[in-house]
Amino acid sequence: MGCDFVLVVDDDEELRSSIEEVLALDGHRVVGVANGEQALGVLAIARPQLVVTDLSMPMRDGASLIADMHAHDRTSHVPVCVLSGEIDKAPPGVPTLKKPVEVAELCRTVDNMLANQEAQAA
């Protein structure tokens, strides 16, 4: 897997940078932003193959971001993975990883979600 565009949304700058680095080393193009509001700005001009988001963030949280994405034709098809310490608050049916996440688990989940999306598009 590689060369897929992944949008990472997390207000913890250190964690976001680490996730960006891990996914880049796994062969993905990665853009990171600090909250759902910034993510919507990226989604207005770019089309990621996957969004990895935290739930608890200022300005616009992850649940609100996911709801907004699903409400718009342009982004309703983009798969989302939640990365949170509060996995019980994740929207139903959204793949969720508990923080702190192991690098191998994160990469495996991202790769599997992207592979599933490619298979559905074929």
**DSSP conformation letters of 40-59:** HHHHHH---SEEEE-S--SS
Which pLDDT score, from 0 to 100, does residue 1 have? 44
Give the chain's domain count.
1
Domain enclosing residue 12, as ranges: 5-121
CATH code of the domain containing 97: 3.40.50.2300
Residue-level pLDDT at 56:
93
The pLDDT of residue 13: 96
pTM equals: 0.94
Tokens 């949280």, residue located: 61
End-to-end CA distance of the chain: 16
Q: Per residue in 75-118, pLDDT tens? A: 999 999 999 998 888 888 899 999 999 999 999 999 999 999 88
**109 SS3 class:** helix
